[in-house]
Chain A
Amino acid sequence: MEQEVLVRLTGIVKRFGAFTANDRIDLAVKAGTVHAVVGENGAGKSTLMKILAGEEHPDEGTIEIAGTTHAFRSPRDAQHAGIGIVHQHFLLADALRVWENVVLADEPGSAIRLDSGAARRQVAELAEANGFPVDVDAVVRELGVGGRQRVEILKVLYRDARIIILDEPTAVLVPSEAQSLFAAMRRFTEAGAAVIFISHKLDEVLDFADEITVIRAGAVVGFTTPAKTSASELAALMVKVAMPAVEPRATPPGTDVVLGASHITVGEAGEVPALDDVSLEVHSGEIVGIAGVEGNGQSELLMALLGRARSTGTVELGGADITALSTEDRRARGMAYIPEDRHRDGLVLSMALRENAALGYHARPPVKRGPWFSRSGATGLAKGIIARFDVRGGDSTTLASALSGGNQQKFIVGRELGSEPRVLIAAHPTRGVDIGAQSAVWSELTAARDRGLGTLLISADLDELLALSDRLLVFYRGRIVGELDPRTVDAPVLGEYMTGVRHADADADAQRPTRVDPEGGAA
C-alpha cells in the first residue's frame, strides 16, 4: 500500500492565555493508516484535533493536507479540505431523522428545495456501502449511543472526508459496538482514508492502530507502532505513573446490610418504567458494581436512592427505613453521592472551592455554626480535601471552574469520602480523569471500603467495575438481568448481558432463545 503522508502538522503552538495547550507539535499521518493519538486528560489531544478540524486557530505552525498548506478559518474550510471530526459528545438534532441529520447544512437540491428523495437514497447507499446497520428513517432521539455515533460518522463520510478524526470514540460503547467500529475504521483506511483516533484505552490502541503518537503536557513525547511497544510502556510515556492496579482485598466484606433497596420502580404512569422493580443490597465494606449501557435505568436508580426522584418501593440505610426522608435527611444519615455529571450536580462552577466543599455538608458542623455559615470551617474542609486528595490547580478561594476535570473529580470524591459516610453512591467516579487521578480515586475507594464503607458503584468503565467490585449487577432496560462474580466473568459474557443477549432467566431456562438487540438500550 502506498504510504503517502496525508496530514502533516508542523510546529503547532496553541496558547490559551498563559497556558500552552500545544507546544510545537509535529504530527504526520499517512494515508491508509489508523493513527492513534494518546495522552492524559488535558495533554492537548483534543485541542490539536480541533485545530486540525478548523475549530481552533493555531498561534504558530502549519497544517499541510496532501502536500498543500492550509490555514483554516472555519470548520467549513477544513471540511472542504477533506477533514471530518466525530466529537466525543455528539452534535445531533434529536428531533430529526437519521438522513436529515446527515445531510443537514449540505442538503442536495437547490437553495429553496430540499431533494429529500435523493438525500434519503444517498444516505442509505452510504450506510450500505460502509456496512452500517442504521435505519435512515429512524428519529435520532430513539437511537442508542452506538447508533448515534454511526450517524456522526455518516455525517463525516457524506462530506467525502479523507481524514476522519474520532475523539474518544469507544468511551460510550459496549465491547461489541467498539468491535464493529474498528471494523468500519479498517474499511475506511482500505479505501485510502486516514483515521486519527484519540483514546485512553491502551489495549484498543495497541490492537487497532498502525501508528501511535503520545502527547504529554502539550508536547509530543513519543512516536511508535504497536509492534514496537506495550501497554505499560505507553502508559509510562503518557504519565510516568504506573497503570492503576488494585490489590486483591485482604478482608472479606461485612455481613450487615448498610443500603437496601427493594422493589424500586421509577416511571410515569402508563409508560414503560425507566427503573422496573429493582431490589438490591449493599453490605458494609462491600463494593457492588452496576454494569450496563448508559440509559438502562442507572440514572433513575441514583435519583431514587438519593431521594430526588419519585419512586415506589422502599429504601433502607443502616437498617432504618429512609423511604420517606428528604435528600437532606438522607445525606445527614451518612449517604454520600458522587454524581454522574460533575458539572451538573457535583459542583457549583461559579463558586470557590471553599463553598463547594460545603455543598451537601452545609447543614452540619464544621460548616454550620448555629445559623451561621462558618467560612473558616468550610475553608478547613476545602484545604483538607485539597491536601489529602492532591487536588492541583488552586486553593480554597479558587473557583471550581478553574480546575481541570480530573482535579474537579478528585475534589468531589474527596468531599464525599471526607465525611466518613456509611454509604457511598458513586457514579462514574473516574470518568474523564487521567490514569494518575484514576489510581488515586481507586485507592481511596478501596481504602474506604476496608474501613467498612458500603459502596454502590455505577460505571461505564468495565475495567473499573471488574477491578473494584465485589459483586456485579447488570442493568438492562431498567431491570437487573444478572448478578455476576467479577473475579470469574469475562468481558464478552458481560457484554452479552449488557446488550440483552443473555439474562439470568435465560440461563436458568437452559438456553431459551433470546432476542438480539444490537442497539443496546435504545428504548
Chain B
Amino acid sequence: MIRRVVVTLAGPVVSVLLALLVTTLFLTFGGYSASSAYETMWNYGIEPASLVSTVNNAVPLYLAGVAAAFALRMGLFNIGVDGQYRVAALAGAVVAAQLPLPLYLRLPITLLVCCLVGALWALVPALLKVYRGVSEVITSILMNAIATTVVAILLAHVFRDGGGQNTGTAIIDESGAMPVLIDLGIGNRTSVSGFLVVAIVVGILFYLLQYRTVFGFTLQVAARSPEAAESAGIKVNRRIIWAMLGSGAIAGLIGMPHVLGVAFRFDGTLPTDLMFTGLAAALLGRSHPIGMAFGALVLAFVERSSQVLGLVHLPTEVGSVFMAVILLSSAVGYWLTERADQRIALMNALRKRRRSAGAAGGTPPAPPAPPSATTGMEAAR
C-alpha cells in the first residue's frame, strides 16, 4: 500500500523535477542565474497575495483538466473545451445579469445553464462521431472556430449592453456574482473566490461518477475494449455520447470564475486558451481528481510567480517554458517511475522465490503483488 502511494506520488514529482531541469538549462544557457531566478520566484510566489491568486487561478485550470479527463477516461479527446466554455460563459453572463431571482437561486441556475450549453456544444462532435464516424478531435476543433464566430455575432448584435464603446454584456451585480469565500483583507485582491467550492464539488462528483458508479465502470470497459463492452451489453455509442456530454458540461464552467468573479460581465478579457494548461494539469495528475488538483496548483503557482521576473530583469518566459516542458516531462516522468516500479516488483518476486525455495510456507502475508509484469510471469507457471 505504502509503495503504491510512493509510486503514485513519484510520477508527478519526477515530472516537475525534469521540467525544472530543462528550465534551468534554458536560463543557464541564456546567461542568467537559475538559482537567483528560482529564489525570486519562490519568495514572490509564497506571498499571501500570490498564494490567493494561485488558488483562484488554479480553479479554471482544474475545471479544464477535469473536463478533458472526463472524455479521456472514455478514450475520447475533447479538444473543443475552449469553444464549449466560451459559448457557455456568454450564456452564463447573460443569465447571471438578467435573471430576476435572488442569489441563492440565480447562481445555481447560472451554473446549470453553463453546464447545459457546454454539453450541447460538445454533443455535436459526439453525434457526428457516433452516426458519421468522424473523429471527435477534428470536429471539436472546428466547433471552436464556430464558437468564436457565434460568440462574436451574439455579443455584437444581441447581448451587448448599451451602445458606443461598450464591448461586453450587462454588468452582473452582487445578486448574480460569485460570493467571496475567504477574504484575507490584506490589500487588493486577496480574497479566495467561492469557485473553489465549485471546483471541489466538481472534483468529488467526477470521482464518484467515474470511479464508483456502474456508469463509470461501463465507460472504462467501453474505452478499453469496445468489443468486450458490446458483448457485455454495454452500448459503446451511448457511452461516447454521455462522455462527451459530461466533458462539455464541466467545460461549461471554466469561464465562469472570470465572468462571475473578475470581469463581472462577458467581454474580450475572458482568457481563450485555458484548455491547454488544463490538459497539462490533467496529464500531470494522470486524470485523477486529486492529482489534477495538484497539477493545477503547480501550474498556477509557476504562472503567478514567473510574473515577478520582469522586475529583476529576468525573462518572464521562464513560466511558459516550464509549462511547455511539463507537458512532455509528465509523459517521461511517469514512464520512468513505472519502469522503476516494475523493476522493484521483479526484484521482490525473485527474492521471495529464493527465500521460499528453502522454507515451505515461510513468508507471512506478503504485500499484495501489484498487477505488473511479475504477476504475469508467476501466473504463467
Name A residues whose Cβ lies closer than 8 Å to a Cβ of B: 16-19, 21, 42, 217, 306, 308, 326-332, 337, 339, 344-352, 355, 358-360, 362-363, 367-368, 371-373, 392-395, 397-399, 401-404, 407
Contacts and interface: CB of A to CB of B under 8 A. Distances in A.
A352 B373 CA distance: 13
Interface string B353-381: 10000000000000011010111111111
Interface string B197-222: 00000000000000011111110110
B217 A347 contact: no
11 contacts: A18-B350, A337-B231, A345-B225, A355-B220, A355-B221, A362-B221, A373-B214, A373-B217, A402-B375, A402-B379, A403-B379
B273 interface: no
A348 B220 CA distance: 10
B371 A398 contact: yes
Interface in B62-115: none
B379 A371 contact: no
Nearest to B376: A402
B211 to A, nearest CB: 8
Contacts of B369: 398
Contacts of A337: 231
A363 B235 CA distance: 13
Contacts of A21: 380
Contacts of B216: 373
Given A19-B377, A359-B221, 15 more contacts: A17-B346, A17-B374, A18-B349, A21-B380, A217-B381, A308-B231, A328-B234, A345-B230, A348-B220, A348-B224, A362-B221, A371-B215, A373-B213, A373-B216, A393-B381
B373 A17 contact: yes
A330 to B, nearest CB: 7
Contacts of B218: 362
B220 A351 contact: yes
A332 B233 CA distance: 9
B378 A19 contact: yes
B233 A327 contact: yes
Contacts, number: 123
A303 to B, nearest CB: 9
Interface residues of B, number: 35
B381 to A, nearest CB: 6
Contact of B379 (A326, A327, A367, A407): A407
Given A352-B371, A402-B371, A306 B231 contact: yes
Contact of B228 (A217, A352, A359, A401): A359
Contact of A308 (B213, B220, B230): B230
A331 B375 CA distance: 32
A193 B194 CA distance: 81
B232 interface: yes
A13 B224 CA distance: 35
Given A337-B231, A362-B217, A363-B214, A18 B374 contact: yes
A394 B379 contact: yes
A243 to B, nearest CB: 23
A353 B213 CA distance: 18
Contact of A16 (B217, B233, B349, B377): B377
A306 B234 CA distance: 12
Contact of A362 (B214, B235, B368): B214
Contacts of B377: 16-19
B47 interface: no
B227 interface: yes
Contacts of A394: 375, 379
Contacts of A392: 379
A347 B212 contact: no
Contact of B346 (A18, A329, A331, A372): A18
Given A330-B233, A362-B232, A363-B233, A393 B371 contact: no
Contacts of A402: 371, 375-376, 379
Nearest to A368: B214
Nearest to B208: A372
A331 B233 contact: yes
Nearest to B218: A362
A328 B228 contact: no
Contacts of B379: 392-394, 398, 402-404, 407
Nearest to B226: A345
Given A19-B381, A373-B213, A401 B376 contact: yes
Nearest to B348: A18
B232 A359 contact: yes
Nearest to A400: B371
Nearest to B346: A17
B374 A351 contact: no
Contact of B227 (A326, A345, A352, A373): A345
Contacts of A397: 368, 371
Nearest to B352: A18
Nearest to B213: A371
Contacts of B233: 326-332, 360, 363
Contacts of B350: 18
Contacts of B380: 16, 19, 21, 42, 393, 404
A521 to B, nearest CB: 23
A327 B225 CA distance: 16
A337 B353 CA distance: 38
A362 B368 CA distance: 25
A339 B218 CA distance: 19
Contacts of A328: 233-235
A306 B233 CA distance: 9
A437 to B, nearest CB: 13
Contacts of A18: 346, 349-350, 353, 374, 377-378
A358 B220 CA distance: 12
B232 A331 contact: yes
